[in-house]
Amino acid sequence: MNERLFKARVLENTPASPGYMLISLECLEDIKRPIPGQFFMIRLCSGNDPLLRRAFSLHAWIGKNRFQILYRIKGIGTKILSEIQKGQTIDVLGPLGNGFPKRKAERHVLVAGGIGIAPLIGLAETMDEKDKLSFFMGFRTKTEAICLDRVNKMAASVSVATEDGSLGQKGTVIDILNKNLNNIKSTIIYACGPRNMLKRVSDVALRHAIDAYLSMEEYMACGLGSCLGCVIRTTQGYKRVCKEGPIFDHREIVW
């Protein structure tokens, strides 16, 4: 455990696409470099409403004590976050959770649904063998498609699907995954996105008998393993997303 409670200065907080924001933070004290897949809990007000911290994955580490979070404006908490100005300081707890495992493989397949792209960018950036990297991304529509440039620069192959067909293939990320996942010897999947998408990624992985690591989400209060609020069902009983997760071997999850 190496989490810390620290203040971070906002270096930048700008729209990434309509409804999505990218915030760059500089920690005001030294923190351990987080592993991709780990997350931070951010406090949104010094008052009592909204009360709880919000969880955000590491998006990218951008040098000593500096990192980025990519987030979607969903409700009140992320709205407040989106209004925080450059130069202000915020209260952060982290890094938390286990992070993605470092594995060797012939092919690394990264599957992102919507804002699920956030931690996968950080993961891709720390991978040594970029030529073995395939990215599958699904969005609702073209305007929501984020991180395309970065992904294009990083990955050996990139496939995009949109629900309305305004960009890439029309359909879901699972559709394009199914179509393209032929050559699967020694393939590992890393996925982040809505629960339903993750379940279908798990189905794909099961069918091909390959490994898949999923970044799971559940409502959280503490992020530290103490409240037992964030559990999900696994083959070994309830596990805490904030402590035993958020990255789980897909075979563990009881859907």
Ligand X SMILES: Cc1cc2nc3c(=O)[nH]c(=O)nc-3n(C[C@H](O)[C@H](O)[C@H](O)COP(=O)(O)OP(=O)(O)OC[C@H]3O[C@@H](n4cnc5c(N)ncnc54)[C@H](O)[C@@H]3O)c2cc1C
Ligand Y SMILES: Cc1cc2nc3c(=O)[nH]c(=O)nc-3n(C[C@H](O)[C@H](O)[C@H](O)COP(=O)(O)O)c2cc1C
Residue number, 44 or 148, with CB nearest to a copy of itself: 44
Q: Lay out the site mask for ligand X across 88-127 (x = CB under 6 A, - = otherwise).
A: ---------------------------x--x---------
Query: Which of residues 227, 231, 234, 249 is near ligand Y by CB under 6 A?
Result: 227
Cα–Cα distance, 14 to 38 (Å, whole number)? 22
The least CB distance from residue 81 to ligand X, in Å, is: 8
Who's near 217: CB < 8 A, 6+ residues apart? 55, 195, 241, 246
CB 139 within 8 A of CB 148: no
**Rounded Cα–Cα distance for residues 109 and 16 (Å):** 24
Instruction: Give which of ligand Y, ligand FES, ligand X, none residue 63 binds (C-beta under 5 to 8 Å, depending on kind).
Output: none
1 closest CA partner among 81, 69, 97? 97
CA atoms within 13 A on the CB side of 109: 26
How far lies 133's CA from each of 18, 59, 109, 162, 184, in Å? 28, 17, 6, 21, 13
Return the number of the residue (74 or 233) whose C-beta is nearest a copy of itself. Answer: 74
230 DSSP assignment: S
For a copy of itself, the closer CB: 50 or 225: 50
Residues forming contacts to ligand FES in the complex (CB under 6 A) are 220-223, 225-230, 240, 242
Smallest gap from Cβ 154 to ligand FES, in A, equals 31
Q: Which is nearer to ligand Y, 62 or 221 (CB)?
A: 221
With CB cut-offs between 5 and 8 Å by kind, which of a copy of itself, ligand X, ligand FES, none does residue 84 bind? none
DSSP 253: B
CB of 164 to another protein, least distance (A): 20
CA–CA gap between residue 233 and residue 32 (Å, rounded): 30
Which residues of the shown chain bind a copy of itself in the complex (CB under 8 A)?
A: 47-50, 76
Interface contacts to ligand X, rule CB under 6 A: 39, 50, 52, 54-57, 69-72, 74-78, 115, 118, 217, 219-220, 241, 246
